[in-house]
Amino acid sequence: MRMDPFGRTQYRRRPAHRRRSGLLRLVPILLFSLFLAYYWFSHHEVVPMTGRKQLVDLTREEEMRLGYQSYQQVLAQENVLRNGKIVEEVRTIGRRLAKAAADVDPGFEWEFNVIESPQANAFALPGGKVAVYTGILDIAKNENGLSAVMGHEIAHAIARHGAERMAYQKLIQWGTMAAAIALGDMSYNTQRMVQGALGLGSKYGVLLPFSRSHESEADYMGLIFTARACYDPREAPNLWERMAEQSKGSPEEFLSTHPSHETRIKQLNQWMPEALKIYEENCDDDLATVE
């Protein structure tokens, strides 16, 4: 803006090439938005039991092949127990949980192994490949607690949470690339600042909340599997109380991939009436009791 000799205001128009540059910056973002819409509608599925829509771009066969390969790698590197009381107990619980999940099982070939390790951990991979670390046994405490642990992990595999995380990570990578192209004519410091803000936003606004929602979904599905398998679901909140005692100093929930122990206990108690109804209607009292 400037004044002419007669005191009138004159407005300086932006050069045409600068206006075009600003519009061109939006093209990658627009194209990414259109691709995102197509990608979502062409790759979404529905999670069994919860009805939540999810984004998955791997076929079941691809996912199961990756799960089998990962499982073999883990077993080759760990001390796998071949027999013994705990091995039989884990396999018995696993078979009952797999049977309880038969209506949503996509055709997994279930395999249950015990790994001797101080890690308080367990996992289930696509294809039905399950491992329990001996370090979690003292926290599980009894077969009902161990069923809660294994039911949760089995739910992750059935709900395709691993494949869903991979799909969202791809989207974030592609979105970051689109943003980088859109910011290409900005200064280096400006690009770093914007990219850093996008990285933090995707981590704390998308990936971490997304991971916590997976954990809650697996808690719910696992609780129902436990009740269907005639293990007492009331042990699940007790399990997480013991988990809380073992993990003092955990990060705040919004900084974590998992809900807080308090949140998990609260949610499990909210779902408990449904689980108890299944348990009481289908299971004899002498099949499973809290020890």
pLDDT > 50? residue 289: no
pLDDT the model gives residue 166:
87
Compute CA 118 distance to the chain's CA centroid, rounded to the nearest angstrom: 24
The domain locations on the chain are: 27-282
Q: SS3 of 104, please?
A: coil
- What does the pLDDT look like over 181-218, one tens digit per residue? 666 666 656 556 655 555 555 554 556 666 789 999 99
- What does the pLDDT look like over 223-279, one tens digit per residue? 999 999 999 999 999 999 998 888 765 655 444 566 888 999 999 999 999 999 999
| Range 27-282 has CATH code 1.10.3470 | no
Entry pTM: 0.78
- The span from the CA of 69 to the CA of 172, in Å, is 26
Measuring CA to CA, which residue among 86, 76, 136 is closest to residue 112?
86
Measuring CA to CA, which residue among 148, 198, 197, 196 is closest to residue 172?
198
Catalytic residue positions? 153
